[in-house]
A and B are shown apart, each in its own frame.
Chain A
Amino acid sequence: MTGRVLRALAITLIVVWSLAPIAIGLVTSFSTQRDVQAVPARWLPEQPTLDAYRSLLGGTSSQRAGGTVAESGTYSKALLNSTIVTLLSTLAVLAVAVSGAYGFSRLEFPGRRTLFWAISALIIIPVFMVVIALFRLMADAHLIDHKLGLVLVFAATQTPLALLLMRNYIAELPLEPEEAALIDGCTRWQAFWRVVVPQMSSGIAALAAIVMLAVWGEFLIPLLLTSTLNSKTVTVVIPEFVGKYTTNYPLLAAAGVLAVLPPAIVALVLNRHIRGMLHGSS
């Protein structure tokens, strides 16, 4: 009996621990500065308001942002940048990793094993290392502060792990459906599209989710590679709202909430697939 009570207690703690900061952020985003600065701190706003969101998306004077400039449409532009970069990067990684995984696991060619392990070994190299190494080259190619530059870097750095995950995933799938298709007259390419890719749908969904979450949440890379709103992502813009002396918390919270919505939705919708992928690769 005590076992069950303890377990229920633990589950409650887990849920509270996971949700509390998010809940606090949400609540703060509906508050005003006065609510936040009240002493002792008020947990709930006197009157919930959407002011923070309005300022954020509609533009605000630099004073109220408490620090750097936040002109009209700054945040919205950052959101757009993030979205574009994330989607493009994810598509690129999916294309490369899925086809690459198929090639490495179902096609025979010399040096297959070595090449694969060579690429997989790259997983060990942290992303920042690659970016630093890439920096000068990208500057020369005028790709700094360019969305395409970000996409390329993300695609390149996410590929090794994506490739490994996908290849392990394919290795677990039965060969028979593809073989049946080949016997029935399909070319390799057709078999790939019509049979193997559908077989992989769950894994592809999981990979897409993982890559999207990773890219959307990247901070250091965009920090290094962007300088203007041409390509600045939400992750870079948010810390700019943190002032040296006072911080407009509702605004910051609202920014945080908006930045959190897309990944949260992706995580909630695709969570079963993500967990499935983790199980498989452990």
Chain B
Amino acid sequence: MTSPHDTLADFEDTAIPFLSDVMRFALSLTHDVSNAEDLVQDTFLNARRSWHQFIAGSDCKAWLFAICRNRFYRVREQAERQIATEDGDLESLAALRELSQADEAALGARLERNELRNAIRVAMYGLPIAFRDVAMLVDWHDQSYDKAAEILGIPIGTVRSRLFRARRLLQEQLMSHARDAGLSTVKQRSVATEAQS
């Protein structure tokens, strides 16, 4: 016997409203509209088959994101370097101290002019997968730490440390971009320090 929750109409009423969100998520995974649309269709077909496992009243968008991500990685086998350690807080703090307030001000001014959108996107897509997944879910797809943990199947502490490191890596990439644009003082300071020693 089919319960009302199992019907195609129920699935469509509940899941289809999130199609645009899933499309945006798929696009951030594939970087290609056509591939993203295929992934969205694959995601919804698989979600429909698993609809009996969905708990009514729970977060359908997060559930669809999890399926979308799993389908993407299942289809695409790609070697990515693994995370050496999840405890990035101390390392990140050390790196943060290296970023002077002058550098921050220069980069901040640059960011406020919104001229670094492409640089940010390149930097985001260039992150190691484990970091990129967390950063994209939280920063691009409005997921809380606990929802990102649920989607990725990892502890919330791991979400927090990966996000911390992802953002540090993004900052480093953008600082490099700013240096290339002559906006940062890091290089000049290093040269001056070397000259004094």
A and B from one complex? no
Q: CB within 8 Å of A: which residues of B? A: none
